[in-house]
Amino acid sequence: MITATDNKIVLITGANKGIGLAAAREIARAGHTVLLGARDPGRGTEAAADLAAQGLDVRFVRLDVTDPETIKAAADLIDTEYGRLDILVNNAGISRDRPHPPTELPVTALRETYETNVFGVVAVTNAMLPLLRRSPAGHIGNVSSGLGTVDFLSTPDSPLWRYANLLGYNSSKAALNAITLIYANSLRDAGIRVNALSPGFCATDLNGHSGPLTATEGGAHIARQVLSPDERTTGVFLNENGGTYPW
């Protein structure tokens, strides 16, 4: 049973649907307070209300990771209402690759992808760091993809090789993996863990619902990874099936 002192304050970006929503549900079911971040007030409010109606401690927080004003407002709200943040899950992500081959991907599409998948993660993380530093065991989880690992991109015989040409998405996740390692090294002495998280290959709006896992399964994997009691593991890419992935 979760006690008041065990309760964690958890912020999840891009959580009004898909993997983010499923993770919010699982984390709240474990007895924690979930701040459901979403850029669309209508969808975010509805998603949070649905979970709250199930008796879960979930609250909508307007947060567009590409909008500095909403990021600051979210940080201010968390500061005022809770005084700290225990777990940040940088889940918001997009893909603008299809139907373009990498040699024809418009730079505007690449830039849009990076605004959410890379720059948005840095902006939200930096805004939430003062709150994470107040946690007795802060944890930042960056939802990534094996498609962005050097191991995958240099393995032509991989069963997923047909996805290796996603220039925007894959390179943005490669950048996110590097960001994860840099923050892990920078925040190690502060006691804040930073890890990349894998939900597995899930069928979501992002990939045209083509993955073998459901968003519910992916969300459960993310919830388990961020709620792990192991306070020593940092700077790794957590595998949805346990253990870690190579970078």
pLDDT score, position 215:
84
Q: Where are the domains of the chain?
A: 9-245
- Is 183 noted as a catalytic residue in this protein? no
pTM of the predicted model as reported, rounded to 2 decimal places: 0.94
Q: What is the pLDDT of residues 47-104, one digit of tens each?
A: 999 999 999 999 999 999 999 999 999 999 999 999 999 999 999 999 999 899 999 9
Q: Residues 204, 210, 212, 214: what is their CA dihedral angle, to the nearest 10 degrees?
A: 20
pLDDT score, position 230:
79
* Lookup: tokens for 67: 């909008």
Q: What is the pLDDT of residues 222-231, one digit of tens each?
A: 999 999 877 7
- Is 163 noted as a catalytic residue in this protein? no
User: Can you give the pLDDT of all 247 residues of the chain as single tens digits?
Assistant: 455 558 999 999 999 999 999 999 999 999 999 999 999 999 999 999 999 999 999 999 999 999 999 999 999 999 999 999 999 999 999 999 989 999 999 999 999 999 999 999 999 999 999 999 999 999 999 999 999 999 999 999 999 999 999 999 999 999 999 999 999 999 999 999 999 999 987 666 666 656 667 889 999 999 999 998 777 899 999 999 888 999 9
* Lookup: tokens for 235: 């700077």
Fill in the amino acid letter for 123.
Answer: A
CATH of region 9-245, choose from 3.40.50.720, 3.40.640.10, 3.40.50.300, 3.40.50.2020: 3.40.50.720
Catalytic residue among 163, 169, 183, 245: 169
Catalytic residue among 8, 163, 173, 183: 173
